[in-house]
Amino acid sequence: MEITGKIIAVLPERGGISKTGNEWKMQEYVLETTGEQYPKKVCFNVFGADKIAQFNIQAGEEMVVSFDINAREYNGRWYNDIRAWKVERGTVGAPVAAMGGTPVINAPKVEVPDFSKDSNDPDELPF
């Protein structure tokens, strides 16, 4: 899945040691959708120190975030996990395709017939 918007918050990095003894890091970000009458906010995370450094997400950036959603149960409650696996930075005025929307197609120009000719032609249809 993908979502396009502006990063409005970068939350502190968290980390720890897993049950198997491996170190882990995770950072959460809040994205606000753009181009909608009622913008929505989505909190997503990036898992792994290498991905956090690779993505280098900063507040104020416009981007397209590709993510997976997974739910897990803890003490009888269910929690959603929205994990980003790819980010693409956008710029103002970028083609729509670069922002994850409808692709921009460069089609050849088509000649439009001139309909302003005299309507006294007997072969002309009345509609």
Q: How does pLDDT run across 82-124, given as a tens digit for each residue? A: 999 999 997 543 444 444 444 434 445 545 555 555 556 666 6
Give pTM, 2 decimals. 0.68
What does the block give as tokens for 53?
Answer: 């450094």
Is residue 65 situated within a structural domain? yes
Is residue 119 situated within a structural domain? no
Is residue 55 situated within a structural domain? yes
Domain containing 24: what range? 2-94
> CATH number of the domain that 85 lies in?
2.40.50.140
The domain total for the chain is 1
Is residue 12 situated within a structural domain? yes
Rounded distance between C-alpha atoms, residue 6 and residue 12, angstroms: 18
